[in-house]
Amino acid sequence: MTDYRFIGKSTPRKDALDIVTGRTKFINDLTIPNMLYGKVLRSPLPHALIKSIDTTEALRLPGVKAVLTYQNAPEWMAGFPLHVRILDNKVRYVGDEVALVAAETEDIGEEALGLIKVEYEPLPAVYDVEEAMQPDAPQLYEQFPGNLLPRERRMFGPQTLQEVVFGDVDQGFAEADFIIEGTCAYENIPNPLPPEPPGVIASWEGTDNLTVWSASQGPHMFKVTLQRRMGATNMQSIGSPVGASYGSKYMSWQYVLPASALAKAAGRPVKLCYGKTEHLAAFTVRLGSRIHGKVGMKKDGTVTALSGDWLLNTGAFSEITQGMVAVGCGEAQLMIRCPNWDLKPKMACTNRTASGQVRGFGGQELKCALTPILTMGLEKAGIDPVDFFKKNYVKPGEGYYWRDGNWWVCNGIDYTAAMEKGAETFGWQEKWQGWLKPTSVKGAKRRGVGVGVHGNADVGEDISEAFVRLDSNGTATIYSGLAEHGTGQRSNICKMVAEILQLPLERVSVTPADSRVNPFEIGPVGSRGTYAIGSAVIAAAEDAKKQLFELMAAKLNVKPEDLKTEDGTVFVKGQTGTRLPWIKGMGYDRTLMGHGRFEPDFTLPNFMMIFTEVEVDTETGKVDLIRVVGATDVGQVIDPPSLTNQLNGCLGSAGIDSALFEETVFDTRLGRIMNPNMIDYKWRTFAELPEMEHVIHETPFPSHRFHAIGVGEITPSPGPSAVLMAVSNAIGVRMADYPLTPDKVLSALGKTVNAERRGR
Amino acid sequence: MTTTKQNPPHHTLTLTVNGENHSFVLGEGTHEVSPSHTLAHTLRERLGLTGTKISCDHGACGCCTVLMDGKAVLSCLLLTVECAGKEITTIEGLGDPVAGTIDPLQQSFIDHTAFQCGFCTPGIIMSAKALLKVTPSPNRIEVKEALAGNFCRCNSHYHVLDAVMAVAKKGEHQ
């Protein structure tokens, strides 16, 4: 393995000093001169028409500068396909936007909300995905009869994947030794819940110059997707450091459009930052996912056919559900080797807070519902799930339909070695006692183990562009639209460039994530930072180095390919004694700009396996997560602590803990979320950490010159179904209802009267 | 005889933050401190000390943790008027701003990459600082307990524990 100067070494994050001293400016830490504060009046009803709305008194309140309702708001539209009007005369969930206020202070804005008089005509509401598809169900959008979202054929090209249908399922079921049918749902709609609530500042200059500062995982995409919709021709989107996102703050027009509308109406900059209640009750949550599935299986565990309905509950609008379905459909094929598929998604709107993008992006939602059905077959066949995953997980030379609808063939690596090492580290062989059998029983405490697997072929998705500028003083500047959202990716691209140019890390920097400065960047999503963004940056650095060597070669009377550079000097290979600083070739009056671009490549699936051990108290029903072992192969570690941080991230952000206690509790009598605060929305504290260990293999990938791929996004995704399996094994009863709160465990053990749980 | 027209007496409030005294006029005006303002709000909006973060604004997440007379407190649950005469230390007050040095605890967070997004980090550092003031050599369980009120969603907990224990062990803390 190559020994690099920076790659694979632990180096301090470039932004570390700012973070630990509190100097990092997150969106709500910024103020713009003359700035107003935006506030949102939200609907108390899940479904209603606005009969009348009177803003007279609010407008009279000193300090109020603009009030917008559906009557005077711009006709800006959002959602996929466009269906959400920024303010409408119909509200579709408790928390839907009814009116917007811009005021001199937040307090005045709040007061003004209370002065707006609204008369509603309540409409019947629907919350369940299958009830929403019934002929007599309340209808949310005129353009979506039956509340069904249309399939999307443009998002990822003309054949965007919207189902998995190939082979002959009838023949597959005929070949099966047994057929399993079942329903499983992952519908506790956990909130990714980054600590920083969503926020934005918008400012107009004239009618077509719009500047937006925002917490976004892909700030450049606001310019690409929103500029024209808002009538701007010159939008500047500036990304601040993101107080975490986990996918949720990506193309989030939910806060950008209202702030921009208010700024336009008031003629002043407007900051709109959600409060935590708004964040929990009116910002996007995970998709609801339910599968009625049928699996044909041979006695040896070979899957011969898989069919089913995949029902997706998007809530009140769809942010990008069709894209998540496309990726989820691809990811199902990576996990299960099966020649005959008929898996058909149906996406429906309902009257609860909307679902949107979250880490795991469709695949986690699918796996959490599909894996428990699949494992019923493994249980019947008596197959060890680790053996099943080893046999089934995609290997080099095997193919899959990916999100663009094309057939791609895996050009990556075989993950068997990582799986085996993971199993060994966890002690799987000793702990696995068979299906529905505990690992150990000690009085009322029963332990069980479970395993899950996940991976995507999105590490090489979409386009990234980057420039690398060399200055004659021996420094390099990366031009990238990459915002820092917690993974350390901005630091890591500096390491890549420092490695190529052999510059001290402190001499490499990145421009602010500003769309006016930087080339196209879709953002660090789908674990694409290392490969896709990295490749663009690497290409730009190589290009700049080539230009530098052409200039320096003339000074040294050698050919460019004879040269090397180190610490801002250039020398002939093998002659380290004679060095010329860059300025000798470049002069003081020249900068060099290298260009890099990455084109999509769906041939390198990544991989994450999670082993879990739980302890169930059969007297209280409480489930404790005792130990987690993650196993992966990343080709080449870029920054060891950043990688372990990402792997440890499997617990939160609507990951493993969504199988244990995390849920958005929904009251279907009122249509309200009952736990929109961080006391009632349960999360894991420092005092309740499981033991955590990771197996990280480094088998070189044919990706870029460092042979690395990313894995960060997917680390939570195999976890929830693994926990379900572990608890089922511990108590000897198959569990399929996320999250496994004590009431459900006790009920499964026959220790409670099985009262119907209200909600959701 | 003429009487001199006098302004009504101002109610003022003095806060000591990071060793500096700040006087505020109490009231509801744009630049005054309202009796309803929380300490977190005053620190951020009046003093520009935005290192103190507001996440839940509800006492559940610990992002707004500061020291008051050396003890960790949640500045979103304290009214500014309650803090008169108290010594407040925020994340900006750690280390020595004149010498440009940072606290060993901060350095340890850098060395261990004990953060990801970094939003909850100032609050975690302040909670850990308060612990180490009272218990300079805590064990790992004591650190976990002391930080149990600090929400970290990126799951940087493990690196945080390493960072705090590294400082505790070295005994660099006074």
Single out the residue in A598, A624, A645 at which a domain terminates. Answer: A598
Same domain, yes or no: B85 and B111: no
- Tell whether B88 and B152 lie within a shared domain: no
Secondary structure, 3-state, A693-742: EEEEECCCCCCCCCCCCCCHHHCCCCHHHHHHHHHHHHHCCCCCECCCCH
Q: Contact at 8 Å (CB) between A251 and A227?
A: no
CB-count burial class (<10 Å; 0-12, 13-18, 19+) for A138: middle
Distance from CA of A25 to the nearest CA of B (A): 8
Can you give the pLDDT at residue A80? 87
Whether B34 contacts B27, CB under 8 Å: yes
Assign residue A84 the CATH number of its domain. 3.90.1170.50
Total number of domains constituting chain A? 3
Rounded CA separation A457/A403 (Å) = 9
Domain that holds residue B63: 12-93
Using a CB-CB cut-off of 8 Å, the residues of chain B touching A29 are 44, 50
Please, what sign has the CA dihedral across residues A46, A50, A56, A57? Answer: negative
Q: Which is nearest to A43 in space by CA: A669, A549, A557, A673?
A: A673
Question: Residue B1: inside a domain, yes or no?
Answer: no
* pLDDT tens digits for range B24-77: 999 987 788 999 999 999 999 999 999 999 999 999 999 999 999 999 999 999
Q: Does residue B69 form part of some domain?
A: yes
Whole-number Å distance between alpha carbons of A480 and A536: 9
Nearest to B159 among A487, A645, A677 (CB): A645
Q: Are residues A589 and A715 in the same domain?
A: no
8 A C-beta contact, residue A332 and residue A164: yes
Helix (H, G, I), strand (E, B) or coil at A440: strand
Same domain, A449 and A473: no
Residue B172: its pLDDT value, please? 47
User: In angstroms, what CA-CA distances link A501 with A8, A388, A470, A541, A595?
Assistant: 16, 45, 10, 7, 15
**How does strand A209-215 pair with strand A234-240?**
parallel
- Which of B41, B73, B93 finishes a domain? B93
Cβ of A243 and B111 within 8 Å? no
In three-state secondary structure terms, B64 is: coil
Residue ranges of alpha helices (H) inside A179-320 are 219-226, 253-266, 276-282
Q: What is the mean pLDDT of each run of 10 residues along chain A (760 residues)?
A: 93 98 98 97 98 98 98 95 96 98 96 98 98 97 96 86 97 98 97 97 95 96 93 94 96 94 98 97 96 98 98 95 96 97 98 96 97 96 97 98 97 98 98 98 98 97 98 98 97 98 98 97 95 98 98 95 97 93 96 98 98 98 98 98 98 94 95 96 95 98 97 96 98 96 96 60
Domain assignment of residue A517, yes or no: yes
Chain A residue numbers touching B119 (CB-CB < 8 A): 26, 194-196, 243-244
- C-beta of residue A282 within 8 angstroms of C-beta of residue A42: yes
Is B41 inside a domain boundary? yes
For chain B, give the percent of residues with pLDDT over 70: 91
Check whether residue B84 and residue B116 sit in a common domain: no
Cβ contact, residue pair B153, A689, below 8 Å:
no
Give me the amino acid identity at A132.
A
Considering the domain architecture, whether residues A432 and A350 belong to the same structural domain is answered as: yes
Nearest chain B CA: its distance from A405 CA (Å): 33
CB contact under 8 A, A686 and B119: no
Nearest to A311 by CA among A290, A287, A325: A290
A303 and A407 in a single domain? The answer is yes
Closest partner CB to A20 (pick from B61, B121, B148): B121
**What chain A residue is nearest to B161 in terms of C-alpha separation?**
A686
Sort out which chain B residues have CB atoms less than 8 A from A689's CB and list them: 144, 157-158
Residues B17 and B88 in one domain: yes
Query: Is A13:A19 a contact under the CB 8 Å cutoff?
Result: yes
Whole-angstrom Cα distance, residue A752 to residue A666? 22
Q: Residue B6: what pLDDT?
A: 58
- Do A220 and A271 have their domain in common? yes
Indicate the DSSP class of residue A151. P
Same domain for A583 and A505, yes or no, is: yes
Interface probe for A, chosen from B157, B159, B162 (most Cβ of A below 10 Å), is B157
Burial class from Cβ neighbours inside 10 Å (0-12, 13-18, 19+) for residue A537 reads buried
Asked whether residue A261 falls in the same domain as residue A294, the answer is no
Closest-CA distance, A85 to chain B, in angstroms, reads: 29
Task: Judge if B66 and B112 occupy the same domain.
Answer: no
The reply to whether residue A194 touches residue B102, judged by beta carbons under 8 angstroms, is: no
Q: Which residues are within 8 A (CB) of A733 and not within 5 positions of it... i.e. 6 or more apart?
A: A436, A748, A749
3-state DSSP call for residue A724?
helix
Chain A contact present for B160, CB below 8 A: yes
* pLDDT at residue number A707: 98
Place of tokens 């707004």: B64
Q: State the CATH number of the domain containing residue A496.
A: 3.30.365.10
Can you name the residues that pair with A467 across neighbouring β-strands? A479, A595
Q: How many CB pairs under 8 A join A and B?
A: 173
**Which tokens in the block code for residue B170?**
């070295």
Considering only the beta carbons, identify the residue of B58, B125, B158 that sits closest to A648.
B158
Residue A146, H or E segment: none
| Residue at B3 is within a domain | no
Nearest to A399 by CA among A388, A389, A407, A391: A407
| B86 and B117 assigned to the same domain | no
A750 CB-near residues (< 8 Å, 6+ apart): none
A261 token code pair: 């509308």
Do A480 and A431 reside in the same domain of the chain? no
Identity of the residue numbered A464: S
Q: At B28, which CATH number?
A: 3.10.20.30
8 A C-beta contact, residue B161 and residue B127: no
At B147, which CATH number? 1.10.150.120
The reply to whether A479 and A383 lie within a common domain is no
Residue A603 CA: distances (Å) to CA of A71, A150, A331, A395, A703: 50, 29, 13, 11, 10
User: What pLDDT does residue B97 have?
Assistant: 77
With beta carbons less than 8 A apart as the criterion, state whether A426 and A611 touch: yes
Are both B80 and B131 inside the same structural domain?
no
Number of domains, chain B = 2
Looking at chain A, which residue has its C-alpha nearest residue B157? A686
Hey, are the CB atoms on B53 and A195 less than 8 Å from each other?
yes
Residues B45 and B19 in one domain: yes
User: A363-381 and A321-335 helices cross at what angle (nearest 10)?
Assistant: 30
Shortest distance between the Cα of A195 and any Cα of chain B, in A, equals 6
Task: Tell me which of B93, B120, B148 is where a domain ends.
Answer: B93
Whether B79 and B108 map to the same domain: the answer is: no
Do residue A552 and residue A568 come from a single domain? yes
Reduce the DSSP state of residue A102 to 3 states and report it: strand
Residue A557, judged by CB atoms within 10 A of its CB (0-12, 13-18, 19+), counts as exposed
B87 SS3 class: strand
Q: How far is A600 from chain B (nearest CA, A)?
A: 27
Please list every residue in chain B whose beta carbon sits closer than 8 Å to the beta carbon of residue A686: 143-145, 147-148, 150, 152, 157, 160-161
Domain boundary among B93, B125, B151: B93
Whether residue B144 is contained in a domain is answered as yes
Dihedral of CA A78/A82/A88/A91: which sign?
A: negative
CA distance A544 to A552: 12
Tracing tokens 């440009």 back to the chain, one arrives at: B100
Residue A231 shares a structural domain with residue A305: no
* Contact residues, chain A, for B121 at CB < 8 Å: 19-20
* Stretch (H or E) spanning A21: helix A16-21
Determine, yes or no, domain membership for B24: yes
The sheet with strand A592-598 has its strands ordered as A508-510, A475-479, A464-471, A592-598
- The confidence score (pLDDT) of residue A760 equals 44
On whether both B24 and B89 belong to a single domain, the answer is: yes
Local structure of residue B19 (DSSP, 8 states): T
Pairing state between β A399-401 and A234-240:
unpaired
Please give the Cα distance from B62 to B151 (Å, whole number): 6
Q: Are A363 and A528 in contact (CB under 8 A)?
A: no
Q: Which B residues 103-122 touch A at CB under 8 Å?
A: 106-107, 109-113, 115-122
A551, A576, A598 — which closes off a domain?
A598
B108 shares a domain with B56? no
CB contact under 8 A, A686 and B112: no
Is the alpha carbon torsion for A665, A667, A671, A677 positive or negative?
negative
ipTM associated with this complex: 0.97
Question: Is B95 an interface residue toward A (CB < 8 Å)?
Answer: yes
Beta-carbon-side half-sphere exposure of residue A14 (alpha carbons within 13 Å): 21
Nearest CA in chain A to B142: A687
B contacts of A20 (beta carbons < 8 Å): 91, 102, 106-107, 109-110, 115, 121-122, 125
Q: Are A392 and A336 in contact (CB under 8 A)?
A: yes
Alpha-helix runs per DSSP H in A163-209: 169-175
Whether residue A685 and residue B149 make contact (CB cut-off 8 A), yes or no, is yes
Q: Do A346 and A296 share a domain, yes or no?
A: yes
- Chain CA centroid to CA A709, Å: 17
Is there a domain that residue B89 lies in?
Answer: yes
**B147-156 confidence digits (pLDDT tens):** 999 999 999 9
Within 10 angstroms of residue A274's Cβ, the number of other Cβ atoms is 20
B46 — contact with chain A (CB < 8 Å)?
A: no
In a domain, A185, yes or no: no
Domain hosting residue A506, numbered range? 462-598
Query: Does some domain include residue A169?
Result: no
Both B16 and B81 in one domain: the answer is yes
**DSSP 8-class letter at B44:** I
Report angle CA A360, A597, A529 to the nearest 5 degrees.
25
Angle, to 10 degrees, between the axis of helix B157-170 and the axis of helix B121-134? 30
Instruction: Determine the distance in angstroms separating the CA of B7 from the nearest CA of chain A, rounded to an integer.
Output: 24
Per-residue model confidence (pLDDT) at position A755 = 53
